[in-house]
């Protein structure tokens, strides 16, 4: 999400003839796009700001701006606390950046943090950074109003709003024409994507079909789904199109009914497992990944065991695993106690990580002998003689280069694995 936002900021500034550089020693303005989801993300930014003071002593005209969720959360307070920050811009105010940069004088500080009910940056064609020229993100909606009890996002990114489907399809077509072969449609809760116009209503399953029809050679992925809203209609559309990747990220957060209720997730473990069963029914080859939080307020050993049990039942292919971090202004901060001691949170997190490591390895071992179509993304980090790509399930596969090039599709048979990577050989020479 933040990466996609940085690409929008790049486009807004390039249009006004600002040049973008990755060389920090050449920059007159340093823009830091920030996340506020966990405290350690914010602490990293504060450390980076301290480090940048040395650079500012040598290049005194350099101005630093903080963009994104941390800017939105802290507003002016951030500039008071961090004396080397000159401007802050919230996630809905990026269009103001050129004007701010043009008018900011030495010693002055500017802030734009108004949230909007309508801004989707729909008309902006993002500048693609760090691109492999093959895979790209397309933002399809902004904001979130689910108000999970632990989460700061509804306060930093504002209300949910969807982007005109035609602009999304056009962006996908342009990327395909430029040689891209995979797009990931992004939103905090893509299942509630909805666009109403004179021509009718486009929901997320219809949007997926529209993008999938751009070309059978363009792979389509999406993130993130909320389990309460994952519909059979979407699964049917995924089954219908070969180029919609068979991979679903379905954050569970906890396996305990009591925790899920306290988290305001609005589903039960039974509901979640029913959605998993539906995925397995419509999409037998689909991989499933998740997010989980260890040590949310009042979590008992029994609740934690329920999470481990959920992991054993679902057998995720990958999981993003976090220790609960209390965030200001959330429901949890106002009404609940962060009462699980840090060492207990750490131990529970480590137990989840260890279990998930075993499951991922066992899942990968079952892949040995299977053959997959792989979209080649680049040269392996380990050896120039090898390429890497992903299968539809989003698993990374490494194989000998042969005469192949990034951007091509090839068939690969899996011969070995680790818990993170599959290793294989090309079968269609």
* Pick 249 or 348: Cβ nearer ligand SF4: 249
Residues at the contact surface with ligand SF4, assessed by CB under 6 A: 144, 146-148, 151, 153-154, 188-189, 226
- The H or E element spanning position 200 is strand 200-203
Per-residue contact track with ligand 5AD, 325 to 364, x per CB under 6 A?
x-x-------------------------------------
189 touches, from ligand SF4, ligand 5AD, none (C-beta below 5 to 8 Å by class) = ligand SF4
Query: Chain-centre distance of CA 328, in angstroms?
Result: 22
Nearest one of 222, 202, 201 to 210, comparing CA atoms: 202
Kindly state the smallest distance separating residue 266's Cβ from ligand SF4, in Å.
Answer: 10
How many residues bind to ligand 5AD according to rule CB under 6 A? 12
Separation between Cα atoms, residue 230 and residue 272, nearest integer Å: 10
Task: Name residues contacting ligand 5AD, limited to 312-331 (CB under 6 A).
Answer: 322, 324-325, 327
* Pick 38 or 413: Cβ nearer ligand 5AD: 38
Q: Rule CB under 6 A: choose which of 151, 263, 276, 387 binds ligand 5AD.
A: 151
Residues in a beta bridge with 410? 374
* Pick 188 or 289: Cβ nearer ligand SF4: 188
Task: Name residues contacting ligand 5AD, limited to 275-314 (CB under 6 A).
Answer: 291, 293
CA distance readout (Å), 249 to 121, 187, 279, 319, 359: 25, 12, 11, 9, 16
Residue least distant from ligand 5AD (Cβ): 291
Q: Rule CB under 6 A: choose which of 1, 35, 38, 161 binds ligand 5AD.
A: 38
* Strands 422-426 vs 396-400: parallel, antiparallel or unpaired: parallel
* Pick 338 or 400: Cβ nearer ligand 5AD: 338
* Pick 322 or 399: Cβ nearer ligand 5AD: 322
Kindly state the smallest distance separating residue 342's Cβ from ligand SF4, in Å.
Answer: 22
Kindly state the smallest distance separating residue 268's Cβ from ligand 5AD, in Å.
Answer: 18
Burial per residue of 231-252, b for 16 or more beta-carbon CB atoms within 10 angstroms, e otherwise: eeebbebbeebebbbbbbbbbb
- Between helix 232-240 and helix 204-212 the angle, nearest 10°, is 10
Separation between Cα atoms, residue 417 and residue 423, nearest integer Å: 6
Kindly state the smallest distance separating residue 230's Cβ from ligand 5AD, in Å.
Answer: 14
Nearest one of 145, 393, 123, 127 to 246, comparing CA atoms: 393
DSSP structure string for 226-252: -GGG--HHHHHHHHH-TTB-SEEE---
Q: Rule CB under 6 A: choose which of 9, 37, 175, 288 binds ligand 5AD.
A: 37
What residue ranges bind ligand 5AD (CB under 6 A)?
Answer: 37-38, 150-151, 251, 253, 291, 293, 322, 324-325, 327
């Amino acid at each position: 999400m933040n990466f996609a936002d940085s690409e929008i900021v790049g486009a807004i500034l390039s249009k006004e003839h600002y040049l973008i550089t990755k060389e920090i020693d050449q920059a007159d303005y340093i823009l830091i796009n920030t996340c506020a989801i966990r405290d350690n993300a914010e602490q990293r930014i504060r450390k980076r700001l301290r480090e940048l003071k040395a650079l500012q002593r040598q290049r005194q005209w350099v101005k630093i701006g903080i963009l994104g969720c941390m800017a939105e959360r802290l507003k002016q307070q951030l500039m008071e606390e961090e004396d080397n920050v000159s401007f802050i811009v919230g996630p809905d105010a990026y269009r103001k950046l050129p004007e701010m940069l043009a008018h900011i004088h030495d010693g002055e500080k500017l802030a734009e943090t108004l949230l909007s009910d309508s801004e989707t940056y729909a008309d902006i064609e993002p500048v693609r950074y760090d691109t492999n020229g093959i895979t790209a993100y397309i933002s399809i909606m902004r904001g979130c109003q689910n108000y999970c009890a632990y989460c700061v996002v509804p306060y930093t990114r504002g209300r949910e709003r969807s982007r005109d489907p035609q602009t999304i399809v056009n962006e996908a077509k342009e990327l395909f024409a430029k040689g891209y072969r995979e797009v990931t449609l992004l939103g905090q809760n893509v299942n509630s994507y909805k666009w109403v116009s004179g021509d009718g209503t486009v929901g997320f399953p219809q949007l997926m079909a529209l993008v999938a029809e751009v070309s059978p050679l363009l792979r389509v992925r999406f993130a993130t789904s909320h389990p309460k809203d994952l519909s059979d209609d979407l699964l049917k559309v995924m089954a219908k199109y070969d180029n919609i990747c068979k991979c679903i990220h379905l954050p569970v957060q906890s396996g305990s009914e009591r925790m899920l209720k306290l988290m305001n997730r609005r589903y039960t473990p039974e509901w979640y497992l029913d959605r998993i069963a539906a995925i397995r029914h419509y999409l037998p080859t689909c991989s499933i990944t998740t997010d989980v939080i260890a040590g949310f307020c009042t979590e008992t050993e029994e609740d934690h065991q329920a999470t481990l049990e959920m992991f054993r039942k679902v057998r995720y292919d990958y999981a993003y695993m976090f220790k609960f971090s209390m965030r200001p202004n959330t429901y949890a901060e106002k009404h609940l106690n962060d009462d699980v001691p840090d060492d207990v949170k750490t131990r529970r997190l480590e137990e989840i990580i260890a279990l998930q490591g075993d499951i991922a390895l066992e899942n990968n071992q079952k892949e040995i002998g299977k053959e997959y179509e792989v979209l080649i993304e680049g040269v392996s980090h380990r050896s120039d003689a090898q390429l890497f790509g992903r299968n539809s399930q989003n698993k990374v596969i490494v194989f000998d280069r042969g005469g192949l090039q990034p951007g091509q599709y090839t068939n690969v048979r899996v011969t070995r694995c680790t818990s993170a990577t599959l290793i294989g050989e090309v079968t269609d020479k």
